[in-house]
Structure 1
C-alpha cells in the first residue's frame, strides 16, 4: 500500500510538471513537425461523466429491442476501439427495463465508454469511442463510465486510440483500486492527465491507425477463410473407416 501511494504521488508530481511544459511525441507526421507541442490538461477539465445503468447480462436480449446496451464485458472481448454500431453485435435491453432509461443518458457520437472494472491490470480503463450510431439508441451499461467531451476539442477517432497510449494507461493503473478485481471511478479518472495536438493532427493520427485496424481485420478474415479451407481439405484427403 505504501509503495502504491508513493508511486501515485510521484506520478502526480511528474504529471503536474509535464502539464507546465510543451509535450512532443517521438514520431510525428512531416506536416506537423514544426507545429506547437501537444496540450496537457486534467481529464476533468475537458470531459463530463454521464449516468450509466447497472443491468446485468441476463437483463439483455439479442433481438427485438429498442435500446442497445454496452456491457463492460463486450468492451474487453469484442468491440472495436472505434465503435461503429453497424459493424457490431450489440444486445438490447429487455423491454421490461427500458422505462428506467432516461433519454438524457443516451450515448452520442464522440462519447467515450470506459470499462471501470477488470481482473487484468492491462485492461482496467479499456475504452471505446462511439464514432457511428446510425440513428440507433445506445446506452452505457454495467461497469462502464460514459465520458463526453465538454467542447469540440477532439477529432473523430482520436480518443479511442489516445486511451491505448501508455501515458494514459499507466495513470489509470495507478488510480485503480482493488485486489482480485480492479476498479476505477469517474472521480479518480478526473485526476489523470490527457494530451492532444491540433484537431488536424488528431485526425491524421486517427486515420493512420484506423487504416491499420482495417488491414488487420481483413487479414484476420483471410486467415479465417484459410483455416476453414484447411479443415475441409483434411476431411476430404483422409478416408473414413
Structure 2
C-alpha cells in the first residue's frame, strides 16, 4: 500500500556519468503514473503470436522452440502488443516484466503496459525491471505469488519507480545495451567453440570400429594404432604401480590444432 508520509532521502545513484553529476536527485513516481494498461484486441490473423519468455522477452513463437496450438476462435481474444510495450508475466518472482521488440498478439492472461508519458525511455526501464532491487520491490508487494497468485496492474502501480531526466535515462540505457551486445557476441563465440570442440573430439578419438584417430598431433602420427583395454585392465595396471598409456603428456601446452 502507498504511504504518503513515507519520507526517504533523495534518490541519487552511486555511479553517474560526468554530465549528470550536478543534475540533482532522480524523481520517484508510482508505476501507474508512468505506464498505462493496454487491452487492444483489434487485430487480424497476420500478426504473430508472441511467447512471453524471461530469456528472450516477448518473441514470436515461431522463432523459438515453442509449440502450443491455439484455435482461431481463441486468437480473437488475444491482445495487441506494439514494439516497445512491456508485458507482465503470470509469475514475476524471478522478474517477469518483459519487453517486446516485436509487434504481435499475446494471450489475454497477460497485462500489456505502455509508456504513459514522453518522460519514459523504454530501453531504460527494460533494464531497470530486471534489477535485483525492482524484483525485490515486486516480491514484497505480492503476497502469495508463489501459491499461484497473478500479478495485477494495481500491484504494479503501487511500486515506486525511479525517473531520471530523459537524457540520463538514454545514456544509461545505451551503456547497458552496449554491454548486452558484447555479452551476446561472446555467447556466440562460446557456442562456436563448443561446436568446434565437438568436431575435434570426433576426429581426435577413433571412430567406432577403428583404432586410429583421423586427426593426430604431429609427434604422434607415426605412433601406430591405439591400444584398446578394458577398465579392469587399466585398474589392474594402476594397482600394480603402472602408468596407463592414456595419461596426458606433461609437456603438452594445451595448443589446439585449429584446422
Match of 1:170?
A: 136
212-221 or 163-172: bigger deviation = 163-172
Match of 1:100 among 60, 76, 86: 76
CA 1:154–1:15 in 2, change beyond 3 Å: closer, same or farther?
A: farther
- In 1, Cα distance between equivalents of 2:109 and 2:139: 16
Q: Name 2:116's counterpart in structure 1.
A: 150
Q: Extract unaligned runs of 5+ from structure 2.
A: 210-259
Could you list the per-position Cα deviations for residues 171-199 of structure 1 after superposition, in whole angstroms to 9, with x for gaps in the alignment?
A: 21012233444532111111111111011
Q: Which has the higher contact order (CA 8 A, sep 6+)?
A: 1
Q: Which residue of 2 aligns with 1:67?
A: 47
Structure number with bigger Rg: 2
**1:36-51 matches, cutoff 5 A:** 36-51=24-39
| 1:13 CA displacement | 4.9
Kept in 2: contact 1:71–1:142 (CA 8 A)? no
Q: Say if 2:88 is the partner of 1:114.
A: yes
Displacement of 1:94: 4.8
Name which of structure 1's ranges 106-115 and 139-148 shifts more when overlaid on structure 2. Answer: 139-148
Partner residue of 1:217?
184
Question: Given the alignment of the two structures, is residue 30 of structure 1 paired with residue 18 of structure 2, yes or no?
Answer: yes
SS of the aligned residue for 2:7 comes to helix
Contact kept, 8 Å, 2:121 with 2:166, in 1: the verdict is: yes
Q: RMSD in angstroms over aligned alpha carbons?
A: 3.1
Match of 1:129 in 2: 99
- Distance in 2 (alpha carbons) for counterparts of 1:171 and 1:111: 21
Higher share in strand:
1
Structure 1 stretches of 5 or more lacking a match?
1-8, 54-64
Bigger CA drift: 149-158 or 184-193? 149-158
Q: Secondary structure at the match of 2:145?
A: coil
User: 1:15 Cα shift?
Assistant: 9.4
For the structure 1 residues 15 and 109, does the alpha-carbon distance in structure 2 shift closer, same or farther, using more than 3 Å as the test? farther
Change (3 A) 1:143 1:117: farther
Residue 62 of structure 1: aligned partner: none
Correspondence for 1:60 = none
Distance apart, 1:144 and its partner CA:
2.5
Q: CA deviation at 1:112?
A: 1.2
The count of residues paired between Structure 1 and Structure 2 equals: 202
Q: Which residue of 2 aligns with 1:56?
A: none
- The answer to whether structure 1 residue 237 and structure 2 residue 204 are counterparts is yes
2:240 aligns to what? Answer: none
Q: Matches of 1:98 and 1:129 in 2, distance apart?
A: 23
Report the TM-score when normalising by structure 2.
0.67
Partner of 2:7: 17
> What displacement does 1:115 show?
1.2
